Structure 1
């Protein structure tokens, strides 16, 4: 998986994607999801690093079956909140304080 962290005035923004979706565009009806190198392309990360990053995130964007399943398994998102676009999974996390 690829992991990117950005500090913003609002908190930590995390972008995570599976290796095989980076650079891809998924379209279904009016929905379009482009997994750009600029936003999602970061460091290669193992599951422990992804979980640590999600635990600290204020906002997270997660794309790909493996990444989304990890976020579900670790309790960061709920399966019913996952969007499927053209066969890939997408989820967002927003932590409000």
Structure 2
């Protein structure tokens, strides 16, 4: 999985994507998502194991996740509610906002 963290004025923004999703576009009706290098990859992104992803998500203010593995890790950790996950084309997408 690719993990990227950015500090913003609103808090920590975390993006997580399955490696094989990078560069792909997924669509389902009016909903589409393009997994861009600029947002999910780049020099700031790192290959991460499930433990690193969970640790980052628990510190995040906002997070975007794409891919079955990435979303699955967040579900398994109890961070994302499986009933709130979107199926977009051939993949899964979840967004996270912590109200602290």
TM-score range, shorter chain: over 0.9
1:3 aligned to 2:6? no
Aligned twin of 1:12: 12
Unaligned runs of 5+ in 1: none
Unaligned runs of 5+ in 2: none
CA shift for structure 1 position 46:
1.1
Across the two proteins, how many residue pairs are aligned to each other?
Answer: 97
Aligned twin of 1:62: 65
1:93 aligned to 2:93? no
TM-score normalised by length of structure 2: 0.94
- Where does structure 1 differ by over 3 angstroms across 4 or more consecutive aligned residues? none
Root mean square deviation, CA, Å: 0.7
Aligned twin of 1:53: 56
Q: Counterparts of 2:54 and 2:83 in 1: how far apart (Å)?
A: 20
